[in-house]
Amino acid sequence: MKLVANFVEKPWGRCDLPDWAGCPAGLKAPIGELWFTAPDGAALPLLVKYLFTSERLSVQVHPDDAQGRARGLPGGKSECWYIIDAAPGATLGIGLRRALDAQQLRAAAQDGSIEREMMWHPVAPGDFFFIPAGTIHAVGAGIMLVEIQQNVDVTYRLYDYGRARALHLDDGAAVSRAVPYDMGQAVRALEGGVMEQSLVRCPIFTVLRARDADSLRAQLGQQPVWIIPLAGMAMAGGDCATVGECLYLDSPASLRLSPDAIILAAAQGSH
Provide the annotated binding site for Zn(2+): 62, 79, 137
Q: What is the largest CA-CA distance in the chain?
A: 55
Q: How many CB atoms lie within 10 A of CB 163?
A: 12
Q: φ, ψ for residue 18 (rounded to 5)?
A: -65, 160
How far apart are the C-alpha atoms of 66 and 76, rounded to whole Å?
Answer: 7
Catalytic residues: 157
How far apart are the C-alpha atoms of 63 and 180, rounded to whole Å?
Answer: 17
Name the pairing type of β-strands 118-122 and 156-159: unpaired
Asked if residues 263 and 227 have their Cβ atoms less than 8 Å apart, the reply is yes
Residue numbers belonging to the annotated binding site: 62, 79, 137
Among 238, 241, 195, which Cα is nearest to 20's? 241
Residue 24 per-residue DSSP state: P
How far apart are the C-alpha atoms of 221 and 252, rounded to whole Å?
Answer: 8
Q: Judging by beta carbons within 10 Å of its beta carbon (0-12, 13-18, 19+), is residue 101 exposed, middle or buried? A: exposed
β-sheet bridge partners, residue 36: 5, 48
CA-based R_g, the chain, Å: 18
